Amino acid sequence: MSKRIIEQNAEHLIFELSDKNRRSSSLAPDVDISAVCENLPEFALRKDNLELPQVAELQVVRHYTRLSQKNFSIDTHFYPLGSCTMKYNPRACNTLAQLPGLSGRHPMAHASMSQGVMACLFDLQNMLMEATGMKQVSLTPMAGAQGEFAGVAMIRAYHEHNNDTQRSEIIVPDAAHGTNPATAVMCGYKVKEIPTNEQGDIDIEALEKIIGPQTAGIMLTNPSTLGVFERKIKLIADMIHKAGGLLYYDGANLNAILGKVKPGDMGFDVIHMNLHKTFSTPHGGGGPGAGPLGVSERLQPFLPVPMVAYDGQTYRWVTEKEQPLSIGHLSAWMGNISILLRAYIYALLLGREGMERVADYATLNANYLLKRLADAGFEIAFPERRASHEFILTLRKEAKQLGTNAMDFAKRLLDYGYHAPTTYFPLLVPECFLIEPTETESRDDLDAFVEAMIKIRDEAEQLPDLLKNAPFELPVKRLDDVKAARELDLNYYYQD
Amino acid sequence: MPYIPHTPDEVTEMLGTIGVDSIDELFDEIPQELHTHLADDSTSAIPAGQSEMAVQRLLTERAMLDGTPVCFAGGGAYEHHIPAAVWEIATRGEFYSAYTPYQAEASQGTLQVVYEFQSMIASLTGMDVSNASLYDGASGLAEAVLMSVRANRKAKSKRILMPRNVSPVYRQVVETIVKNQGITLELIDFESTKGTIDLDQLKRQSEPFAALIIPQPNYFGHLENVHQLTDWAHEQGGLVIAQVNPIALALLEAPGNWGKNGADITVGEGQPLGIPLSSGGAYIGFIACKQKLVRQLPGRIVGRTIDLDGKAGFTLTLQAREQHIRRSKATSNICTNQGLMATAATLYLSFLGADGLQKVAAACVANTQTLISKLESVPSVEFPFVKNVFHEFVISLDVNIDKVLEALAEEDIVGGINISPDFGENLLLICVTETKTEDELDFFTETLARALSRLRSSEETNNGEIQS
């Protein structure tokens, strides 16, 4: 391979470029530091010198530009990371969200100076309500996990409000995202896991056995993390509701059904959406996300504040004064507004046809890629099922016969310039790849990915060690994770 | 079709490969009664798609509606100059459109940035280790509270001492996040003439507690005697959670050096480090701690290690604490950090350096003192607390604060934050950063004075009418 995948040269740490005698340029104000400090109380002042890198502007620009070139990203590489919806983040969303009136607004600016941003947020609330079939939306959760937390906290608040306090359990499928059980515990609940059957559906008999007066609710993703639609969802909803529990929808996979199925119609009482997935806001190397909530009528009074209301003339903030049963505030203001604006802009650009098209083409791409890989001889985890926007391939045969596991395939894919699919999740499928191509990839790119997979399998047959030692074309080879955890080096300035 | 690359021929061929006639057929496992067609619903609240040009026009109109007023509000969100290069670099596609660095070899850029971020935060706070960031300062404080209860097993207590001069909305957020875990927040008063934590009331605490929170500067902008407070809490067997402003730390003592042994956990809002105000988010929380508490930290952590050839590299580490491994036994349900904001903050600190950051902090203090002395000459403006402040202070007025803020808004000024609902009648919290010019300080002072005299005379007229 001669093609350079990403920048490979080692880059110094910014601290190693520093000289304490170098002075910053026009970026800092001109002020006499020691004269100012004389006016501050002695006890409060810093005694030791502050250590931060002193590097000139151009050298900082080069350093971080070079670091950026060591990343895979959607803008540079196909990134079929299952469950993460790595689709194109339109540039217009970024540019327009940074308009001065929007990016410079202080959160406590007077309402008369806030009608523009409030109009955007109000419209977004309505569009999300419509797209999900829920009764009301609160935009404030700052990530999917915080949306989950708020949703389960609302389920708890609802039961407590009804003096229904014996409910102590949340049911979670064994294939669920790790955030689901972690969230239930944060809200003071015990977690009950239920198994999945061979078809990827929830085991209804097992569910029946654990539902009871102690059931506070169930957390589900649909399509599930197995990449298939839970067909008995209405039955499950009826069973849970009959027992007095509520249904929580993890919106991680909303991209699969946007405009096609509304979670509200499936019987869910509360949902969170990952705007950094379905509404294409940037993943930013791991955040910020945005995890708005939608609720059915019965959970409306418990929504977190603030929200935006409109009386036909003026927009205003809805606070705990109007929403006294609210579970409260989740952030100092109203969550990740700069991200919410990007989602709003994306929603305007797509419109209702564009939203339905998201699910159409995400599903088309996934089923096409599944078929091509199946035809090439790869084993599909649920071959009898339609793929949703993603699907699972199991490399157990390759692992057994060739000794090359899913991790080896993943690492070798990097050498070919493909970000690896999600590996080893969900845990119940051995040696799995969870593959999500998204709607924004072209057929040519999907075909090229299939070719790469075939080539890698050929390599596995002929040169298994090649896979075991991959990657070769990246800035580093496989890293020593054990050393990383045992001999912690987390801070340049503090070496134990 | 926006963002869909497929040609009609390609779609036909792809459907042929799959062996179906239409895209709709791919949804045939979904029960019929659940099907809907958003695209056909012309009554929908979702409008038809618009061109980029039309959307740009709408957004520009709305942005202009909110304008670019002169801002004197703080309270946890601070206007600072952001070097142009910060967001030019942070929004490069390779940072902007990458995901959490699960595949370390393909994410060395993001991972090294986070390692540098952690090092800078640790240096600023005087702590040994930092994580990769949290959502924001308020939820970060909640995570610090949960962490202190996990870490301080000796105290066998779920009580947290929470001073009333911590931001009221921060206190609400902490309450929302920790209340279902049996943790109680004990409110500690401040001295009514000083605005700082009431040490005498604190010393009357006899029950054990997991941690004391110390804000520096506190919500009123005042500087606490952090050394006394830290030592007292440690003598009682409590941990110390420092809640700090990262720009202030350029001049103020790092929490790691508070008292004899230093604070145990430090949290704060990182927004001042190059993140735009943008109505309150997306911001970035930071959390740092002593080495011995590192396994109790929530969220992502990046470590430096070596690869198969012995070459240095970076990777996510201590993942055994996290939800995707430990599920219901994780230290937190947190999945993402605020990666893009951490990148911007790292860039900001690199561009300014120690010297530049100290100058920004010093200019904030100098401008604040200038405005205080200008306001001292305005009739009826009073200062309820002492003036040992960083870049915020409280004034008390003899008229309704909402009306004052409205009058200032008419002159295109964001005049501060009305803290009366939480702290008593007619109190206004004002913030001055390095962005303000002498002219703007004069403009604020004159506009406020004018508004006060106008409001006072109209109140007198109204009162006169009521009496007659």
Q: Which of A103, A228, A345 sits opposite B55 (nearest CB)?
A: A345
Q: Inspect the interface and report whether the beta carbons of A112 and B409 lie closer than 8 Å.
A: yes
* Percent share of chain B, pLDDT over 70: 99
Helix, coil or strand: residue A312 = coil
Using DSSP's 3-state secondary structure scheme, residue A249 falls into: strand
Q: A89 touching B, CB under 8 A?
A: yes
Distance CA A279, CA A388 (A): 17
Question: Tell me, what's the pLDDT at A496?
Answer: 64
CB pairs under 8 A between A and B: 705
The residue of chain B with its CA nearest to that of A364 is B23
Torsion over CA of A12, A15, A16 and A20, rounded to 10 degrees? 150
Residues of A in contact with B115 (CB under 8 A): 13, 490, 492
B101-121 pLDDT, tens digit per residue, is 999 999 999 999 999 999 999
Q: Do A109 and B73 touch (CB under 8 A)?
A: yes
Asked whether the CA dihedral B35, B41, B43, B45 is positive or negative, the reply is positive
Tell me the three state secondary structure of residue A400.
helix
Chain A residues whose CB is inside 8 A of the B332 CB are 182, 186
Nearest to B91 by CA among A322, A259, A282, A206: A282
Q: Do A479 and B254 touch (CB under 8 A)?
A: no
Partner-chain residue, chosen from B251, B277, B340, that has the shortest CB–CB distance to A45:
B251
CB contact under 8 A, A490 and B129: yes
Class (C level, CATH) for B84-348? alpha beta
Same domain, A340 and A383: no
Q: Are A43 and A89 in contact (CB under 8 A)?
A: no
Q: Which residues 364-383 of A are in CB contact (within 8 Å) with B?
A: 364, 367-368, 371-372
CB neighbourhood size of B438 (10 A): 11
Indicate the CATH number for domain B70-76+354-467: 3.90.1150.10
* Neighboring chain A residues of B98 at a CB cutoff of 8 Å: 71-74, 283-285
Report the residue from B14, B39, B276 with minimal CB separation from A356.
B39
Where does residue B366 fall: left (phi above 0), alpha (psi -120 to 50 degrees), or beta otherwise? alpha
Residue of A nearest to B123 (CA): A51
Q: Is the pLDDT of residue A337 over 90?
A: yes
Last residue of a domain, one of A302, A325, A349: A349
Report the distance separating Cα B102 and Cα B340, nearest Å: 16
Given a cut of 50, is residue A46 above it in pLDDT?
Answer: yes
Q: CATH code at A332? A: 3.40.640.10
Same domain, A21 and A139: no
- Mean pLDDT lowest among A77-91, A204-218, B34-48, B129-143: B34-48
A375-432 pLDDT per residue, tens:
999 999 999 999 999 999 999 999 999 999 999 999 999 999 999 999 998 888 999 9
- Residue B441, pLDDT > 90, answer yes
| Inter-chain residue contact B133 with A287, CB threshold 8 Å | yes
Instruction: Write down the ipTM of this complex.
Output: 0.97
List of chain B residues whose C-beta atoms are within 8 Å of the C-beta of residue A231: 29-31
Please indicate if any CB of chain A lies within 8 Å of the CB of B115. yes
Show which of residues 333-352 on chain B sit within 8 Å of chain A, judged by CB atoms: 333-343, 346-347, 349-352
In the three-class reduction of DSSP (H, G, I as helix; E, B as strand; rest coil), residue A83 is classed as coil
Yes or no: say if B279 and A337 are a contact pair by the CB < 8 Å rule. yes
Cβ distance of B50 and A371 shorter than 8 Å: no
For residue B104, the chain A residues in CB contact (below 8 A) are 476, 479
- Find the domain containing A22 and state its range: 14-68
- DSSP label of A17: G
* Pair A209, A307 in one domain: yes
What does DSSP assign to residue A201?
Answer: S
Q: Which residue has the tokens 């947190």?
A: B334
Is there a domain that residue A295 lies in? yes
Residue A147 distance to chain B (closest CA, Å): 11
- Interval B377-390 mean pLDDT: 92
Q: How far is A223 from chain B (nearest CA, A)?
A: 10
pLDDT value of residue B336: 75
State the pLDDT at residue B90.
98
The pLDDT tens digits of the residues spanning B291-313 come to 999 999 999 999 999 999 999 99
Contact B353 A347 (CB under 8 A): no
Q: What CATH number does the domain containing A461 carry?
A: 3.90.1150.10
Looking at the DSSP assignment, which residues form a beta bridge with residue A183?
none
Using a CB-CB distance cutoff of 8 angstroms, which residues of chain A are in contact with residue B6?
361, 364, 442-443
Interface of B with A in 248-267 (CB under 8 A): 249-254, 257
What count of other Cβ atoms lies within 10 Å of the Cβ of residue A76? 18
Q: Which of A37, A353, A496 sits opposite B39 (nearest CB)?
A: A353
For A260, B5, B6, the CA distances from B1, given in Å and listed in that order, are 18, 8, 9
Picking from B3, B145, B287 by the largest number of A CB atoms within 10 A of its own CB, the best residue to mutate is B3
Q: Across the strands, what pairs with A215?
A: A169
Which residues of B, range 79-98, sit inside 8 Å of A by Cβ? 79, 81, 83, 85, 87, 89, 91-98
B49 reaches A (C-beta below 8 A): yes
- Residues of chain A in contact with residue B333, where contact means CB-CB under 8 angstroms, are 145, 148-149, 179, 182-183, 185-186
Q: Please give the mean pLDDT across all residues of chain B.
A: 94
CA nearest neighbour of A249 among A215, A274, A283, A278: A274
Integer angstrom CA distances of residue A418 from A413, A414, A421, A443: 5, 5, 9, 15
Interface of A with B in 303-342 (CB under 8 A): 304, 327-339, 341
Distance CA A284, CA B303 (A): 19
User: Would you tell me which residues 177-196 of chain A have a C-beta closer than 8 angstroms to some C-beta of chain B?
Assistant: 177-179, 181-188, 191
Mutant choice from B179, B279, B297 vs A, greatest count of A C-beta within 10 A = B279
Q: Is A86 on the interface with B (CB under 8 A)?
A: yes
Q: Search chain B and give the residue with CA nearest A19.
A: B353
Together in a domain, A389 and A319: no
Residue A1 scores a pLDDT above 50:
no
Share of chain A above pLDDT 70, in %: 99
Domain count, chain A: 3
Instruction: Show residues of chain A in contact with B417, CB under 8 Å.
Output: 108
Instruction: List pLDDT tens digits, range B244-265.
Output: 999 999 999 999 999 999 999 9
Which of the four pLDDT bands, split at 50, 70 and 90, describes residue A294?
A: very high
A127 with A275, same domain: the answer is yes
- Residue identified by tokens 């935009």 is A139
* The pLDDT of residue B180: 87
CB pair distance less than 8 Å for B317 and A490: yes
d(C-alpha A168, C-alpha A188), whole Å: 8
Same domain, A365 and A315: no
Q: Does B402 touch chain A (CB under 8 A)?
A: no
A337 and A361 share a domain?
A: no
List pLDDT tens digits, range B321-368.
777 777 777 777 777 789 999 999 999 999 999 999 999 999 999 999
Q: Which residue of A has its CA nearest to B363?
A: A31
B320 vs A143: CB contact, 8 Å cut-off? Answer: no
For residue A245, pLDDT over 80 is answered with yes
CA-CA distance, A136 to A166, in Å (whole number)? Answer: 28
CA-to-CA distance for B454 and B468, rounded, in angstroms?
21
Using CB atoms, pick whichever of A96, A186, A289 lies closest to residue B56: A96
At B466 the pLDDT is 52
For residues A101-109, average pLDDT: 96
Give the per-residue pLDDT at B468: 43
Whether residue A494 and residue B129 make contact (CB cut-off 8 A), yes or no, is yes
Asked if B16 reaches chain A (Cβ–Cβ under 8 Å), the answer is no
Phi, psi (deg, nearest 5) at residue B235 = -60, -30
Looking at the whole model, is its pTM more than 0.95? yes
Averaged pLDDT, A334-353: 97
Q: How confident is the model at residue A24 (pLDDT cuts 50, 70, 90)?
A: low
